[in-house]
A and B are shown apart, each in its own frame.
Chain A
């Protein structure tokens, strides 16, 4: 059984074809990079996999189950998590509060309204252990919106990890970071549990290739090439795209 399967997926915005007949299969525990120039359809693919968009055609299977018609929260409950390219954190909440929301999202008490959250100590324990594990314990009472951009990225990753996801989609986790911050985020991703299947969108090919087992190249909404890192590195077509149209 594949962790994630994308079958004959197409999607258009109005008349614009964003994705065309995309097929992907990711095995449990595998780490796959999705690379390609701007406008290749990478983020659209993530939005369809997480259920934010409904595809024009095609199917999505998560851990063997057809989830094409499920809303985002149901997919999250099945073990799917993601980060966003544009930071959509909770800017006015503290780091601890944000992580508590992430922890609570997959907990049976998430809909309880007759007792204060403090009554459920296990939520706070889990949130604090996550923050300690990923080195943000000393920032737990800081307001998220006031953190540095690099720290916000770390919070973003911790939120995605809170539910111990089986499949994790990372949308340009190092975009806009300094080289030092990029290194620390990359180190964090390297430390993720090997049980977690990871799909990584990354603009920076060097960062991407270092973190994954396999690569899929998207170009103009189609899968242009896929295979091992070595194969992609030596693929002349991929090189042409990256040399010809890459603005990075």
Chain B
């Protein structure tokens, strides 16, 4: 059983490594974007799917990381070893601060507070023109220069650069969700009161999960600003947060493969549909309704139903 699962993971990795050989450079770009949003969606799932905390402001940590890397590489120095860790540090710091406020609430109140906190950052990015460029954002953010034989300005090498972070993130998260800490998060999702009387400091678990989710969202934000070469207030926007929630729900909350899959589908659809029409957000809404009605446990849930295995 264990070796079969390991084989499946290895096969998926081989496919991801081999794909650029058969894809156009445009498609490799799309795949890169899917992986970045895969990391973003998995980070949110740590909160939504495992701890049962529905954050509607997860773009905040993605966005502050992107702005940090953008500002540092444009205004200070394009040094990967400083910019990238700084992006992570700021994302982690902001989530550590916001967690103090958001975790005072539960359920839909938690959702409203995370939304409000996220919008505060959006407002700052929008209004503080001298620092953030306001609505215009920060254009021409350079890709990192690393002592590699292939320049990251090329699509292919950058794809593998992102793939490395994707693999590290999914491995780290899969250890976390199976650890005593991760199992306790699931217990908290199922019954907070019960966990308290079993000896768990529930607040501390939720807070650590919140900060970890911010850290991994920061990884995605860092990669995305390098990928796009651009950062704007829309990175901090509620539409971004909502799209991430939809990726998790569509793929299957409470799993790691699900959100990565959901991210791939949403990125693909957005790319297809926005070529034909402007109302992309409307399509997102329709997808949300359809998923809740017909596949409440997401794509992974559908597959599991077919295979007849029960959820973990």
Residues of A within 8 A of B (CB): 50-52, 71-73, 76-77, 80-82, 84, 88-93, 97, 100-102, 104-107, 109-118, 120, 123, 143, 159, 162-163
Contacts and interface: CB of A to CB of B under 8 A. Distances in A.
Provide the main secondary structure of the chain B interface: helix
7 pairs of A and B residues whose beta carbons are closest in the complex: A113-B181, A76-B199, A105-B198, A105-B199, A116-B178, A90-B190, A72-B196
B199 A97 contact: no
Contact of A163 (B175, B183, B194, B199): B199
Interface of B: 175-176, 178-184, 186-187, 190-191, 193-202, 204-205, 208, 310-311
Contacts of B205: 111
A148 B84 CA distance: 53
Contacts, number: 103
B179 A113 contact: yes
A142 B180 CA distance: 21
A163 B198 contact: yes
Contacts of B310: 143
B175 A89 contact: no
B200 A113 contact: no
A112 B179 contact: yes
Given A91-B190, A93-B187, A114 B179 contact: yes
B180 to A, nearest CB: 5
Nearest to A120: B180
A143 B199 CA distance: 23
A44 to B, nearest CB: 15
Contacts of B311: 92
A76 B180 contact: no
B180 A159 contact: no
Contacts of B184: 101, 104-105, 110
B183 A50 contact: no
Nearest to A145: B190
Nearest to B310: A143
18 contacts: A50-B197, A52-B196, A73-B197, A76-B196, A76-B199, A88-B193, A90-B186, A92-B190, A93-B187, A104-B180, A110-B200, A111-B180, A113-B175, A113-B208, A114-B179, A116-B175, A116-B178, A117-B179
